[in-house]
Structures are given as structure tokens and as C-alpha cells.
């Protein structure tokens, strides 16, 4: 029974982080079929379980990073869209009333563009975390809750991701003009009646928003597949683990 449970869990985790496009759906279907072949063997070993899980996580992490790192990956996704920071949101109506609506919109858009530019840097960090995964880590993920893999990534990668994202976000903000827009809004706000300085760290705000959004996507896709694995078995194109059968 324990062996069967591990096999079933591996099948689920082979489908972690299901993404939204038909082509990726087909790829995950292929991965699921390959893992089914892997776990059906009579000589399944711990190393096979870990290898199967790592392969699934690599593909899932790559697809999730690609999803958020594309144009409008943050901007047009209401679940991870980086909105106006609280100090600015409180005065948004005042700014728009004063005729600065376009500047507010441009500022918000540029923050999301910076996040989209930084997101691809997460791929190598995720791959390293997967490479460092131990047998105990794999078992905890296989038998864990709805977002066990996402929690593993957050615990093992978020501090390093923040360290790497921050200078990239800083440069991206400058490149797309966010820093200048922020300074303009700050100056404008201070000049208005009842206005005051925004007074917060823009780099940290966008970096945190970018990471929060990335982990939201990871968690959503993991939860979806754990809840309905049977729906992911169509459109099979190849056996990704054919050599391991």
C-alpha cells in the first residue's frame, strides 16, 4: 500500500504547475504518460521517484516562469497584477482629479513591466533548488498538501530570488521609466493640497510583488492538478520517460 501511495503521488506531482496554453497542456499530458510508464515498472526505487519528481518540477517551474515572464504576464493577470502601493493608492483619486490619471496608469504599468523583465531570472534558481532536493524533500512533497511543492520552492528559493531580483528590478525600473514616473508622482503629490511624500522603497515593493505573483501561479497550478489529475491524461504526444520504463 505504501508503494502504491508513492506511485500515485508521483503521478500527481508529474503534473504540477499545469499551465494555460493548449501546447503546454499537451506537454504535461506527455509527462504524465511517461511517469505512468516509469511507476508501472516492477523495480521502482527511491531514485526513480526522485528523478521523476525532479523532471516534473523542472518542466512545471519553467512553464510557470515563462507564463509570468511574458508581456502582460503580470499586467493582465488580476491574480498577480502589481497594483499601486498603499501610500499612492490612498491618494489615487486626488491625483486623477488633479489631471494626473495618465501618469498614474503609466506608473502602474511600468511596475508590472519591470516584474515581467525580472521573472525569467527565477528559472536557474528553481533548477538549483530542484537539483539540491533530497529523498526526504521528495517524499514530503509527494505526500504533502495542495501546495507542498510551492512551499518547498518558497522556503528554498525566495531569499536568493529576492537578492537576485532586486538589482534586476532596479535596472528594469530605470529602463522602463518607472523610477522617473515615481519621482514625478511623488513631487506632484507633495505639491497638492493635503498631499505628502510617498516615502517607500520602490525596488523592494516591485520585487516583493514579482515574487508574490510567481508563487501564486505555482500554487494555483499545483492545486489544480492535485485536485483533478484524471483530466490531464489526453493529447499525449510522446513518452518523456520512455528510457526509464
Quick one: pLDDT at residue 94?
Answer: 79
DSSP3 helix / strand / coil % (the chain, rounded to 5): 75, 0, 25
Rounded CA gap, 97 and 108, in Å?
17
| pLDDT higher than 80, residue 135 | yes
Q: How far apart are CA 84 and CA 115, in angstroms?
A: 14
Q: What is the pLDDT of residue 124?
A: 93
Given a cut of 50, whether residue 8 has pLDDT beyond it is no
For the chain, the average pLDDT equals: 74
Q: Is 59 a residue whose pLDDT tops 90?
A: no
**Torsion on CA atoms 63, 67, 71, 73, rounded to nearest 10:** -160
- Picking from 151-155, 171-175, 232-236, which range would have the lowest pLDDT averaged per residue? 232-236
Q: Tell me, what's the pLDDT at 87?
A: 74
Taking residues 61-85, report their average pLDDT: 94
Helix 122-131 to helix 148-175 angle (10° resolution) is 150
Of the given ranges (50-54, 88-92, 153-157, 186-190), which has the lowest mean pLDDT? Answer: 186-190
Nearest to 11 by CA among 47, 49, 44: 49
Model confidence over 155-170: pLDDT tens digits?
999 999 999 999 999 9
Q: What is the pLDDT of residue 92?
A: 83
* Best-predicted range by mean pLDDT (11-15, 86-90, 147-151, 213-217): 213-217
pLDDT at 211: 98
Ranges 2-16, 36-50, 130-144, 168-182: which has the least confidence: 2-16
Amino acid at each position: 500500500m505504501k508503494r502504491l501511495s508513492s506511485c500515485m503521488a508521483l503521478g500527481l506531482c508529474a503534473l504540477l504547475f499545469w499551465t494555460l496554453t493548449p501546447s503546454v497542456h499537451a506537454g504535461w499530458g506527455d509527462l504524465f504518460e511517461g511517469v505512468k510508464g516509469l511507476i508501472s515498472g516492477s523495480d521502482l526505487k527511491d531514485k526513480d521517484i526522485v528523478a521523476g519528481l525532479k523532471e516534473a518540477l523542472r518542466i512545471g517551474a519553467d512553464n510557470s516562469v515563462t507564463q509570468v515572464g511574458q508581456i502582460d504576464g503580470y499586467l493582465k493577470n488580476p491574480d498577480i497584477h502589481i497594483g499601486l502601493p498603499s501610500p499612492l493608492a490612498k491618494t489615487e483619486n486626488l491625483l486623477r482629479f488633479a489631471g494626473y490619471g495618465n501618469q498614474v496608469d503609466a506608473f502602474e504599468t511600468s511596475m508590472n513591466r519591470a516584474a515581467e523583465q525580472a521573472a525569467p531570472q527565477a528559472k536557474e534558481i528553481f533548477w538549483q533548488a530542484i537539483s539540491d532536493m533530497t529523498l526526504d524533500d521528495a517524499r514530503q512533497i509527494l505526500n504533502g498538501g495542495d501546495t507542498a511543492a510551492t512551499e518547498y520552492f518558497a522556503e528554498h528559493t525566495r531569499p536568493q530570488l529576492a537578492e537576485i531580483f532586486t538589482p534586476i528590478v532596479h535596472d528594469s525600473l530605470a529602463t522602463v521609466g518607472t523610477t522617473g514616473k515615481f519621482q514625478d508622482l511623488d513631487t506632484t503629490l507633495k505639491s497638492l493640497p493635503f498631499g505628502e511624500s510617498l516615502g517607500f522603497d520602490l525596488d523592494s515593493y516591485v520585487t516583493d510583488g514579482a515574487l508574490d505573483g510567481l508563487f501564486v501561479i505555482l500554487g494555483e497550478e499545483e492545486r489544480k492538478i492535485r485536485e483533478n489529475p484524471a483530466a490531464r491524461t489526453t493529447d499525449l504526444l510522446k513518452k518523456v520517460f520512455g528510457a526509464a520504463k
